[in-house]
Amino acid sequence: MSESTLRIAMAQLNVWVGDIAGNTRQIIDAAHTARDRDHADIVVMPELVLIGYPPDDLLLRRGLPEVIEAALAELREAITGITAVIGYPEYAGDTIYNAALVLRDGQTLGHYRKQCLPNYGVFDERRHYAPGSQPCVFMHNGCPVGVTICEDIWEAGPAAQARAAGAEVLVNLNASPFHADKQAERERLLAQRAADNAMAICYINGVGGQDELVFDGQSFAVGAGGDIGARAPAFEAGVFTLTVAGKRVHGTLAERPTAEALIYDALVRATRDYVDRNGFPGALIGLSGGIDSALALAVAADALGGDRVWAVSLPSRYTADISNTDAADQAQRMGVRYDEVPIENAFTSMLGTLGPLFGDRAPDTAEENLQSRIRGALLMSLSNKFGHVVLATGNKSEMAVGYATLYGDMCGGFAPLKDVYKTWVFRLAKFRNTRSAVIPERVITRPPSAELRDDQADTDTLPEYDVLDPIIEAWVEEGAAIDEIVARGYGEDDVRQAVALIRRNEYKRRQAAPGPKITHRAFGRDRRYPITAVYGDL
């Protein structure tokens, strides 16, 4: 193996899908930073950095190929004195490839087409791209460097192919979405790939929120023996440079945050990028005094700053005084605008309007949900008038079993907690208070309640969340069968109740606001089930 020393810059960028001009500027700036500040030999960008990930059917716009070619021409002219590896969509006639170019001083030193196209979970790459088949190895200062893209590293073939073609160092371009424990999976995998092929590997990932996905960065590099030699921070854009000397990697090794810190920061990053990139001046939250809206408010204020967040309390006749007190307390602690808008008059008027039609039927969920829908209408009216996006505050447990009101508390343009189990809502609230005590302790310790009737508690309708959440996780994320879940020690009645509710409420989830994926399998893009279907105890 060559003993050449390479300075490789990992450009961990936060690009916007479709913003070719803006992304081009970011690429050029990163290349110049790597060259001038870090004196790097090579700078490596994330997968599809030129257009952003995932571009989905934007790739099919007729004018896009011309725009991509113009951007590549600009990059060829602007990137000098350093070798840049850049991910982009390649158009070859009617075929599109997920590709990478190796550029330096106006010249193309290498070209690679992604071979392994993921078509599971949140990925639909076979819908748009054709697979490549050839390795790419380019020379720098006598050292052969191979190129692969994202999923290629999860299969053994492309890395081995690059090694057989002479690569002694491999760079892997990624747009790898976050979920809990993902970084540990990546590092275990690359350590094995590096050891199997006796070469150092650099894994470059992007950062930022994109609709239902959030990218965590944490780019890293492993030596040929599988040891982690460098790691970039989570959710932080920047250029992070390391040295590859023979089989060894040397660089700054950022700590891996706790699970609570990673998930919380993922929610903050996703919320900030969604609000900012869609041009909203701020965010609007219905603050109930309960733990879900309390955590959503903390996320929003941390993402946008307190001056861009508006909390509105919408109490009804069933709202406890302590809920109002705690909501006002948290709003004051976080420095957000706070208004109280009671809904009693609207509720009374609506009951009067519906009374002749309801007749002598006993009050039930119709009256309960009416309160939630009044709140939703008021929040959306404020959104229309002032432009702030409404953040829905429901969590994954509620979305799973339908413990949410369509056109009520499900109203909103974004749902930060959509993929956060209720048990994790409590954990994240406690974690956020370790940074600063912004959520009143009573909000965390009170039994959760929708407060839509007297003395209501979530457990009137649902099992305890420490029972319900593992059942949902097993059914939704693992695909476990009912009998299998029961065999783990959960009551059969609880399991069947939860599964029936999950099936029954697919129509609600189909109409829910987008929210960031943070678990192995999220509702929405990551899990697609029919609304109308019969599938028994599968």
- DSSP element (H, E) containing 351: helix 344-358
pTM for the full predicted model = 0.94
Per-residue confidence (pLDDT) for residue 382, from 0 to 100:
98
From 3.30.43.10, 3.30.420.40, 3.40.50.170, 3.40.50.620, which CATH number describes the 261-457 domain?
Answer: 3.40.50.620
Q: Which CATH architecture has domain 5-256?
A: 4-Layer Sandwich (3.60)
Bridge-based pairing state of the strands 220-222 and 228-231: antiparallel
Mean pLDDT of 319-326: 87
What is the structure's pLDDT at 446? Answer: 87
pLDDT digits (tens, 9 = 90+) for 401-446: 999 999 999 999 999 999 999 999 999 999 999 999 999 999 999 8
Whole-number pLDDT of residue 459:
80
User: pLDDT value at position 455?
Assistant: 80
Q: 162 — phi, psi (to 5°)?
A: -65, -40
Residue with tokens 């006639």: 93
CATH 3.60.110.10 maps onto the chain at 5-256
pLDDT over threshold 50, residue 1: no
Integer Cα distance of 378 and 370 in angstroms: 12
Confidence of residue 3 (pLDDT cuts 50, 70, 90): low
Q: Name the DSSP letter for residue 335.
A: T
Give residue-wise pLDDT tens across range 57-94.
999 999 999 999 999 999 999 999 999 999 999 999 99
What local confidence, expressed as pLDDT, does residue 2 receive? Answer: 53
Radius of gyration of the chain (CA): 26
pLDDT band with cut points at 50, 70 and 90 for residue 318: confident
Q: What is the predicted pLDDT for the residue at 319? A: 82
309 DSSP 8-state letter: E
- Quote the pLDDT of residue 103: 97
Residues β-bridged to residue 245: 5, 248
The mean pLDDT of the chain is 94
Q: Reply yes or no: is the peptide bond before residue 363 cis, omega within 30 of 0.
A: no
Residues of the chain with CATH 3.40.50.620: 261-457
Q: Is the pLDDT of residue 452 over 90?
A: no
- Tens digit of pLDDT for each residue in 134-180? 999 999 988 999 999 999 999 999 999 999 999 999 999 999 999 99
Active-site residue list: 47, 114, 150
